[in-house]
Chains A and B, each alone.
Chain A
Amino acid sequence: MGTFSMDKKDWFLFLGFSAAVLLGPIILTPVGAGYPDLLQKFAIYGIFALGFNILFGLTGYLSFGHAAFLGVGSYTAVWTFKLLSMNPVPAIILATFAGGLFAALIGFISLRRSGIYFSILTLAFAQMCYNMAYSVLTPITNGETGLQLAQSDPHWLDAAFGIDYGAVLPTSHLFGTDMTGYAGFYFCAALLIICFFIALRIFRSPFGMMLRAVKSNQNRMKYTGFNTRPYALTAFIISGMFAGLAGGLLAVTDPLAGAERMQWTASGEVVLMTILGGSGTLLGPVIGAGVIKYFENIFSAFNKSILMDAYSFLPDGLQQFMVSLSSLFVGEGWHLTLGLLFMLIVIFLPGGLMEGFNRVHALFNKPPGGGGSVKESETAAPAASPVKV
């Protein structure tokens, strides 16, 4: 069997995913999300959550400090722009490696503990990075202002190839194509698809199975002859690299890096994305990332006048009442809606949105006689049965 041999179902999943991502601008237009800035965010945070899920979903180690790697990726990318080239390729490569390097350091120490102690250690490291970015590391991070491009930047690599930006502030460009708008989205989308493919391979590989076994029973893993810590550390580094790449892409689409990207709320956000979508599933985290970014951008933009329009068919008093009631949940109140949604999911669908989809799917696919659909899917993907897509 060749290097790329994969289950037919997995190819179908991968191609379906790729098509959905590439057609994103068309598919998401009816819900008002078909514009490049938001699509870029979907793709970037999709990568972030996909990587986080390799750690949390497979090994069960809950990191509360993954935003640190996102921030490190952004700073690395902006520095690469400033010093080397405005081409995004070196920037994202270096951002990925920087994320991995930081993850190796933080993971090496944090993985000496498990459970809540591990979570606290990662949180402490991330907050340390955040505070240092504001204080002692100001020469590197430019503190509160954030790291920006400047006219005095050398761009050595670009200069060597004879590209001179003159007096204007350059934007990132891939061999001449500006990384803004749809070009920027498709650049991020291509990387999301590559990352999804890598995650898919990891999920189906012996390594992925070992990670799930670590989550299931670490004690048994040790007595089965496995040194579990390097397994968890490798997963931690891989997820740190995904986060570094995502941070780098944030800088590619908007060459600015601020310390707030590393704050604990940002670390918490990726945990929410993963759980909301379905931790341990392949598609879940990407969907979770999309839902949260959608709420953040669309729901928060609803204001009184939009609501007034929406309820204009109602009599005056009722219209006023409905508007003031609804405005609790939109605009500034989008966090409330998200919180309620999150509570509902955790209570009724502990497996996240993916569990919901699978339940609906099972409902429609139940053959006469009942209960057969589960068995069918098991025989189709024998060695990977407990992992749902």
Chain B
Amino acid sequence: MTLLKIEDLNKSFGGLRALSNVNLNIQKGTVHAIIGPNGAGKSTLLNCFIGRLEPDTGSVVFDGKSLLGRQPHEINQLGVSRVFQTPEIFGDLSLLENVIIPAYAKRDGSFRVNAWSPVANDTGLREIALAMLADVGLADSAHNIAGQLSRGDKRRLELAMCLVQEPKLLLLDEPTAGMARADTNKTIELMQTIAKRGVTMVVIEHDMHVVFSLADKISVLAQGTVIAEDLPENIKTDPRVQEAYLGGAHL
């Protein structure tokens, strides 16, 4: 079943054609990687999913609803969570608060003034948030300030913040960018666990090690068009991909 359907997407910046006639079908329960050389339009494509950029023509339909023209918070409320290239967390708040806040968004919607009863009374959400932190291996530091975490731990926290909302679709923009190798491997393991739970993921990634250890399907973007879409093992040997991506070198 198609969860996210992108049809004939076009986007230009002045004279530059960033995306031309992009078509993508993301199947429910799969990990779909989008790869491509620098400037291929990967980030532009992702920004069109989530309400940051408005495409010139084309459609983005998620779960039967168009995502175009919607605010970021509306798209999240439809069930799309996003992990950023640089982890976006609440640096001044505790880890527990970082995870309990998205849980409130899921429960109470995009705006609700609950200014009287203390957070400490919402024991149900607290349990959920603590369990989520335990899942990503951060339970011990639940009461520490999130801004002091290492890059890898910030990423794990950000994943926990997304997962606590039980998203239908998780978008990841270079989830291991700027990480040490050990952190990268831990993050890959975590994402594999998430994938096994059946969360649909779209991953934009440079690192081929990450892509091939995660993806069920790979789309290759070059100069704003999808030049190949196939299973990982076929992508590896596809001559068009090697030509566009690495100028003929072997992956």
Question: In the complex where A217-B89, A224-B102 touch, is A386 in contact with B120 (Cβ < 8 A)?
Answer: no
- Complex CA gap A202/B114 in Å reads 8
B151 part of interface (Cβ distance < 8 Å): no
Contact B113 A216 (CB under 8 A): no
Q: Pick the contact of B105 from A224, A378, A385 — CB < 8 Å?
A: A224
Report the separation of the CA atoms of residues A43 and B88 in the bound assembly, to the nearest whole angstrom. 40
Closest 5 CB pairs of A and B: A225-B76, A225-B105, A207-B115, A216-B90, A204-B118
Q: Does A305 contact B (CB under 8 A)?
A: no
B126 close to A (CB within 8 Å):
yes
- A204: chain B residues at CB < 8 Å are 118-120
Q: Are A386's CB and B94's CB within 8 A? A: yes
Instruction: Give bound CA distance, A205 to B117, whole Å.
Output: 6
B244 at the binding interface (Cβ < 8 Å) = no
* Residues of chain A within 8 A of B101, CB atoms compared: 209-210, 213, 221, 224
Q: Shortest CB–CB separation between residue B38 and chain A, in angstroms? A: 24
Please give me the residue from chain B that is nearest to A54 by CB atom: B115
B116 touches A201 (CB 8 A): yes
Q: Which of A101-109, A227-235, A333-341, A350-358 contacts B (4 or more CB under 8 A)?
A: A227-235
Interface string of B55-70 (1 = CB under 8 A from A): 0000000000000000
- CB A240 to nearest CB in B, in angstroms, measures 15
CB-defined A-B contacts under 8 Å, sample of 8: A1-B121, A5-B117, A5-B118, A213-B97, A225-B105, A382-B96, A383-B119, A386-B93
Q: Which residues of B contact A231 (CB under 8 A)?
A: 111
Please provide the chain B residues from 72 to 100 with a CB less than 8 Å away from any CB of chain A in the complex.
72-73, 76-77, 81-82, 84, 88-94, 96-97, 100
Residues of A near B237 (CB, < 8 A) are: none
Question: B25 within 8 Å of A by Cβ?
Answer: no
Asked if A215 lies at the interface with its beta carbon under 8 angstroms from chain B, I say yes
Cβ–Cβ contact A224 & B114, under 8 A? no
Indicate whether A255 reaches chain B with its CB closer than 8 angstroms.
no
Minimum C-beta distance from B167 to chain A (A): 10
Given contact pairs A207-B115, A382-B96, enumerate 18 new A-B contacts (beta carbons under 8 Å): A1-B117, A3-B116, A5-B118, A201-B115, A205-B115, A206-B115, A216-B92, A223-B84, A223-B88, A224-B73, A224-B165, A225-B73, A225-B109, A225-B110, A227-B110, A383-B97, A383-B100, A386-B92
Q: Is the interface of A mostly helix, strand, loop or mixed?
A: helix
Number of A-B contacts (CB under 8 A): 129
| B76: A residues at CB distance < 8 A | 222-225
Is residue A220 within 8 Å, beta carbon to beta carbon, of the partner chain? Answer: yes
In the complex, chain B residues 195-211 whose Cβ is within 8 Å of any chain A Cβ: none
Known: A215-B92, A222-B72, A382-B143. A207 touches B126 (CB 8 A): no
Nearest CB on A from B90, distance (A): 4
CB pair B113–A7 under 8 Å, yes or no, is no
Docked complex Cα distance between A385 and B145 (Å)? 9
Residue ID in chain A nearest B129 by CB atoms: A383
Contacts of B193 in A (CB 8 A): none
| Docked complex Cα distance between A342 and B220 (Å) | 58
Is the CB of A226 closer than 8 A to any CB of chain B?
Answer: yes
Inside 8 A of B91's CB, which chain A residues have their CB? Answer: 216-217
Instruction: Check if A383 sits within 8 Å of B90, measured CB to CB.
Output: no
Please tell me the size bucket of the interface on A.
35 or more
Give A212 to B120 CA distance when docked, in angstroms. 16
Which chain A residue shows the least CB distance to B109? A225
Tell me the bound Cα distance from A209 to B108 in angstroms: 14
A residues near B94, Cβ cutoff 8 Å: 385-386
Give Cα A216 to B91, complex, Å: 6
Give chain B nearest CB distance to A377 CB in angstroms: 10
Complex partner residue of A386 from B77, B110, B118, B145, CB under 8 angstroms: B145
B133 at the interface (CB under 8 A from A): no
Contact B71 A206 (CB under 8 A): no
Contacts of B126 in A (CB 8 A): 383
Complex interface: chain B residues within 8 A of A216 (CB): 90-93
Contacts of A217 in B (CB 8 A): 88-91
Q: Does A219 touch B at the CB level, under 8 Å?
A: yes
> Is the Cβ of B118 less than 8 Å from the Cβ of A6?
yes
A208 close to B (CB within 8 Å): yes
Contacts of B238 in A (CB 8 A): none
Say yes or no: is B122 at the interface (Cβ < 8 Å to chain A): yes
Select one of B92, B104, B145, B161 contacting A206, CB under 8 A: B104
Verify if A379 is at the interface (C-beta below 8 Å from B): yes
A384 at the binding interface (Cβ < 8 Å): yes
8 Å CB contact of B119 from A206, A220, A224: A206
A207 to B115, CA, bound (A): 5
Please give, as numbers and ranges, the residues of chain A lying within 8 Å of B110 by CB-CB distance: 225-227
Report chain B residues within 8 Å CB of A224. Answer: 73, 76, 101-102, 105, 161, 165
Q: A385–B126 Cα gap in the complex (Å)?
A: 14
Q: A383 CA to B113 CA in the complex, in Å? A: 18
Rounded to whole Å, the gap between the CB of A83 and the closest CB of chain B is: 33
CB distance from A107 to the nearest CB of B (A): 15
